[in-house]
Structure formats: C-alpha cells, structure tokens
Structure 1
Amino acid sequence: MTDETGTTLFHQSMPFTERLGIEVLEHGPLLVRSRLAWDESLCTLGGMLHGGALMSLADATGAVCAFLNLPSGKTGTTTVESKTNFVRGMRSGYAIASARPLHAGRSFIVVETEIHDEASKLVAKVTQTQAVL
C-alpha cells in the first residue's frame, strides 16, 4: 500500500521522483521506504534496471530521511557524499528502498539506504552524508 502523503512530499520537493514514478510506502524519522517499478525506459541493454535509476531512488529516499531528522530551526539538507555498492541486477518487479539515519547531527546527517527486490534480496547499499542547511 502506498503512502499518499509521503508520495506527495517526494514529488513536490523533488519533481524528478515523479518523473521516475517513485512511490512512498512509509515515511517517518526512523524509516523511509519507497519503491521504483522496473520499466524498460529505465534500463540498460539487456533489460537491467540502470544503476543511475537505483541511485536516484536511494538518494531521494535518503534525502527525505535526512529532512525528517533535521535539528530544530533548520530548513533543509543537500547531499555532499554518496557511496553505492551494487550487489545484484534487477530485470523485473520493484526496487524497494529503506533509509535509516545512522547519525543526525547539527551539521551533517548520515543515512544508510538498502535497496531490495521483491524477493527481499539485496540489490544495493548506499551510505550518504547530507549537509544540514
């Protein structure tokens, strides 16, 4: 089931997520979950979901997680570092991202995002640092 409020938040704050078709499953300070459907237009040759599409899913999901963990009085974040490890490819179904805060400080927020396929197999792991604005 999709989280309509979270999906609206994603699409209004990051219009690119609407173009990709990202849907939010749940959002809160301790966990943000979203998904991206496999689509031929998002693939490399051979029908594999493009790594850039997966990184966009992780970056957007992590950004919302960071935003929901902002210190009082702060207004936003921006990604200053992101590291992705791809573990397996995807040729169908949904990529499901789950982002959790590792550190929520005054200047930086570190978020870890795992992307799994519908069989719960790890597809990618992303660690990103968001600067607090």
Structure 2
Amino acid sequence: MPDTLPQDDPRAQLLSAVPFAGHLGITFDEAGPDRVEGTLPWSAELCTAGGVLHGGAVMSLTDTVGAVCAFLNLPDGAITSTIESKTNFLRAVRSGTARAVARPLHVGGSFIVVQTEVYDDQGRLAGQTTQTQAVLAARNT
C-alpha cells in the first residue's frame, strides 16, 4: 500500500479517525466487514529489551484493526467502544512488519466480538486478541 492514500480512499478515512494508529505507523491493507488487515512496521522506538516489538505496540495494532472490524459491522448511526480485550502472545516480533487480521466472531445488537491474529514476517502466528465491542447509540454533542 502506498505511504500516502488519496483522501477518498476508505482506508485513509479510517486511519484519519484513529490518529494514534497513524502516529505508530499502522496502515490498513484491507478493510471490510468480514475482514480487516493492518500492519505495523518494526522499529527500535517501539521495542522493549532485546529488540522485541513491545506488547503494547502489538496490542495497539490488534485493538485498532479489531475496532475497525467492529466499526464496519455497526448498524447505521451507532458507535462502538472496546469493553474487553485479551491478548495471548505466542512469539516475539523482532524485525520486519507485524500483520494483523481481524474477523468478526459475533455481530449482535448489543455487542460485537472480534478475533484478531498477529503474524510475523515469516507468516508465523505471533499472537491472538479477542475483544468485545459495545454497540452504542450515537450521542448528540
């Protein structure tokens, strides 16, 4: 995916709604209600000891990709908020790019449950996050 997306590209619009994700370097490669894929490049600034991509950076990737998946499954006029998130780390990401793939497990009127898997550059499963998103009526501000 190019570094700069046209403003009318839905992936650019999604990324602009989550400025923290853009700050970290997260990009969306695919975004639809059945599957959202995003990446986070490894960088020394996002690491912990030994050059391992920090768990918080990985969780930011999975939370962002999972939240977009939930958002794309909302009924018209609704908003969402993460109410629970659990991550299992299975292997360290030490270089390259972490790739996250989110799919909805349950889309209901009150909750959306999303499962997001994270892979390293060799395509090995590095972690899995399951999050529950509340389906909320939009508030008038």
Give the TM bin, normalised by the shorter chain. over 0.9
Change (3 A) 1:15 1:63: same
CA contact (8 A) 2:93 2:126 kept: yes
> Percent of aligned pairs with the same residue?
55
1:70-98, CA deviations, whole angstroms, 9 ceiling, x for partnerless residues?
12x33210000000000000110000000
TM-score, normalisation: structure 2: 0.89
Query: Quick check: which has more Rg, 1 or 2?
Result: 2
* Aligned residues: CA RMSD: 1.4
Per the alignment, residue 25 of structure 2 pairs with 21
Aligned match of 1:77: 80
> Runs of 5+ in structure 1 lacking a partner?
none
Alignment of 1:34-73 (within 5 A): 34-71=38-75, 73=76
Give the length in aligned residue pairs.
132
* Residue 110 to residue 2, structure 1, CA distance change in 2 (3 Å): farther
The answer to whether the Cα contact below 8 Å between 1:6 and 1:26 also exists between their aligned partners in 2 is no
Distance in 2 separating the partners of 1:55 and 1:34: 12
Deviations for 1:46-87, whole angstroms, at most 9, x for unmatched residues?
11000000000000000000000012x332100000000000
Segments ≥4 residues shifted beyond 3 Å = 1-4
Once residues 111 and 61 of structure 1 are traced to their aligned partners in structure 2, the CA distance between those partners, rounded to angstroms, is 9
User: What is the match of residue 123 of structure 1?
Assistant: 126
Q: What's the TM-score once normalised by structure 1's chain length? A: 0.94
Shift of 1:29: 0.5
Task: Extract unaligned runs of 5+ from structure 2.
Answer: 137-141
> What are the superposed Cα offsets for residues 4-42 of structure 1, whole Å, 9 maximum, x if unpaired?
434413321111001100011101000000000000000
Aligned partners of 2:37, 2:107: CA distance in 1, in Å? 18
What is the rounded CA distance, in whole Å, between the counterparts of 1:123 and 1:29 in structure 2? Answer: 23
> How far, CA to CA, are the matches of 1:12 and 1:128 in structure 2?
22
